[in-house]
Amino acid sequence: MRICNPYRRIIDIAAICGAALSIQGCAATGTAPMSAAEARLGLDTYRLGAGDKLRVTVYNEPNLSGEYAVSSAGKIAFPLVGMVDAAGQTVEDLSHALTLRIADGYMTDPKVSVEVLNYRPYYILGEVQKPGQYPYVAGMSIEQAVAAAGGFSYRANAGRVNLRRMPGAAEKSVQINAGQIVVVMPGDTIRVLERYF
């Protein structure tokens, strides 16, 4: 003789609905997980962008050396040579480009170095206490960025965030507190999603 528990059917339906919602939630975000290589990116691979402030030194040429901001168009205005593309380049790439432009009719064998004085800010959006723009701090993890924004809201999915590394790039899903530290880069956009339950 089989005894039927009336609550058993309700529990089964709730479990099926929960599984369906979690699967639908993954598909709704449409984000691929971030690879381990992407998570380990550091400033040695950093690409300049609008809002970065640079120090350019042309050795033995104090009139050319100085501080330059990368414009919203991704360029710096440099004496003698005019507008130079900076966005998307490493500091080494920009140093090489400036060396070539200065050597093209202005100086013989110029020595140019470029360093970043101030990196562009990062952004944290969504389910945090104080979403917005924050100054970049070298070595900051996603967890520290969330803490700087006042912590998670009560609705936040505290186990996963979406991260966009470059403007126009696709968001990547990042699991936090999973044994790997994902370092925030200048210009990153971190989006903390709402949890479903």
Q: Phi, psi (5° rounding) for residue 187? A: 85, -5
Query: Same domain, yes or no, for 98 and 151?
Result: no
Query: Same domain, yes or no, for 37 and 52?
Result: no
Rounded CA-CA distance 136/54 in Å is 15
Query: Same domain, yes or no, for 111 and 158?
Result: no
Examine residue 99 and state whether it is found in any structural domain, yes or no: yes
Q: SS3 of 40, please?
A: coil
Segment among 74-83, 101-110, 111-120, 161-170 with least mean pLDDT: 161-170
Query: Same domain, yes or no, for 125 and 188?
Result: yes
**CATH code of residue 62:** 3.30.1950.10
Residue 81: the pLDDT is 93
Query: Same domain, yes or no, for 136 and 184?
Result: yes
Strand partners, 142: none
Rounded CA-CA distance 162/192 in Å is 6
* Residue in this structure with the two tokens 């709704």, named with its chain if needed: 28
Instruction: Among 95, 118, 141, give the residue marking a domain's end.
Output: 118
Number of independent structural domains in the chain: 2
Instruction: Among 118, 138, 159, give the residue marking a domain's end.
Output: 118
**CATH code of residue 140:** 3.10.560.10
**Domain encompassing residue 65:** 47-118
Query: Same domain, yes or no, for 53 and 87?
Result: yes
Examine residue 93 and state whether it is found in any structural domain, yes or no: yes
Residue 43: the pLDDT is 67
Question: What pTM did the predictor assign?
Answer: 0.70
Examine residue 57 and state whether it is found in any structural domain, yes or no: yes
Residue 106: the pLDDT is 87
**C-alpha distance from residue 34 to each of 22, 80, 152, 160 (Å):** 19, 43, 21, 11
Query: Same domain, yes or no, for 69 and 108?
Result: yes
The answer to whether residue 19 scores a pLDDT higher than 60 is no
**82-85 and 156-164: which strand pairing?**
unpaired
Residue 14: the pLDDT is 46
Instruction: Among 118, 134, 152, give the residue marking a domain's end.
Output: 118
Query: Same domain, yes or no, for 37 and 130?
Result: yes
